């Protein structure tokens, strides 16, 4: 994920795992209320896309989902990690890894829309500093790319997201569903 901070952009690593449990969503990493809500929305969105992702309904039963954003001493908040949270959970439930060279930002709606966010210049520069090659951004933020230095725009590939389906295709490949047995 990509984050805006008062001193520039930063990279957020988002980890997700499932363990035996009772259907709880466990969130750790000093997340603020808005980021917690983004994680809850992301899990609901993965569940609503379960059929398209070829995730069986039983995959959500009798388990707890734990989402952790490392660097726990640093407070994190805001809605712009929604796409990254969704992709971490989609990856978890489809058993498909998100491409290692991709960064992403964007708020999500429960209908799967990717909504615009702030701090695009700082976030894109952070992705470049981290050596990432592809940046997934909300389509409605395309106008903000003009604030990014030309050399950075040329060095990166941009994927414009209107919906989370666009994110699935870009980060997991094809339709992102679990490979057929």
Whether 123 is catalytic is yes
Q: Are 158 and 145 in contact (CB under 8 A)?
A: yes
pLDDT in tens, the chain (181 residues): 999 988 889 999 999 999 999 999 999 999 999 999 999 999 999 999 999 999 998 899 899 999 999 986 678 888 999 999 999 999 999 999 999 999 999 999 999 999 999 999 999 999 999 999 999 999 999 999 999 999 999 999 999 999 999 999 999 976 555 554 4
Give pTM, 2 decimals. Answer: 0.93
What is the C-alpha separation between 181 and 174, in angstroms, rounded? 17
Catalytic residue among 38, 91, 121, 123: 123
Maximal C-alpha separation, the chain: 50
80 is annotated as an active-site residue: yes
Write down the H helix ranges in 53-130.
82-94, 120-129
The 10 Å Cβ neighbour count of residue 62 is 10
Give the active site residue among 38, 76, 80, 121: 80
47 closest CA partner among 35, 57, 34: 57
């Amino acid at each position: 994920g990509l984050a805006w901070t008062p001193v520039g952009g930063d990279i957020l690593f988002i980890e997700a795992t499932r363990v035996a449990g009772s259907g709880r969503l466990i969130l750790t990493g000093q997340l603020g209320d808005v980021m917690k809500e983004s994680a809850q929305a992301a899990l609901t969105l993965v569940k609503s896309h379960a059929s398209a992702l070829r995730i069986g309904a039983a995959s959500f039963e009798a388990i707890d989902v734990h989402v952790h954003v490392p660097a726990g001493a640093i407070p994190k908040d805001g809605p712009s990690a929604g796409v990254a949270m969704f992709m971490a959970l989609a990856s978890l439930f489809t058993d498909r890894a998100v491409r290692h060279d991709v960064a992403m930002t964007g708020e999500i709606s429960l209908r799967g829309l990717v909504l615009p966010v702030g701090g695009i210049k700082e976030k894109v520069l952070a992705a470049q500093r981290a050596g990432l090659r592809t940046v997934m951004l909300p389509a409605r933020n395309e106008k903000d790319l003009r604030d990014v230095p030309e050399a950075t725009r040329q060095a990166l590939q941009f994927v414009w997201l209107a919906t989370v389906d666009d994110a699935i295709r870009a980060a997991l490949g094809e339709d992102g569903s679990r490979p057929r047995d």
